[in-house]
Amino acid sequence: MGSLEEAIKQKEFISPFNKLVVNLLYTHSYLVSAQNRLLKPFDLSPEQYNVLRILRGQNGVPTTVSSIQDRMLNKMSNASRLVEKLKAKGLVERRECPTDRRQVDILITEKGLQILEELQSHMEGFNNQVINLSKEEAVQMNELLDKLRG
């Protein structure tokens, strides 16, 4: 990918903090674009993939749309719309909660679990390919990003 300066054709930044913000935004765009290409053959967006992973992590226990929204990586995503698209594809189901008829429970279907299973090796390969860091550097980067968010 090369240096940020080469990629965006900018010679210098006003500060290393300014460069870091631009670098993080540029890297985010790079990763999302690459992930979109990987998920396209599965007819999934990164946000839909995130919802499926959240539901798989529930281990068969139903959850609500608001709970999904709270756990999503992109907080600006519309979880209700994403759930409806996944439902139309047969990857999730919506059920009326037996104890509170106003609440709708969301569950991943067997088909949704199968797609995640199929995607598993693709994602592992993608992660290893796109992250040009050693394991030790990846651990350090994770620690630094956690620190950055405070």
CATH class entry, domain 44-119: mainly alpha
Helices and strands per DSSP (H, E), number in the chain: 7, 2
Are 55 and 44 contacting, i.e. CB atoms less than 8 angstroms apart?
A: no
Q: What percent of the chain has pLDDT over 90?
A: 69
From residue 5, how far is each of 72, 85, 126, 131 by CA, in Å? 31, 39, 25, 19
Among the listed residues 103, 115, 105, the one whose alpha carbon sits nearest the alpha carbon of residue 48:
115
Domain boundaries, the chain: 10-42, 44-119
Mean pLDDT of 101-112: 90
**pLDDT per position as a tens digit, 39-66:** 999 999 999 999 999 999 999 899 999 8
**pLDDT per position as a tens digit, 5-31:** 888 888 888 999 998 999 999 999 999
Model-level pTM? 0.86
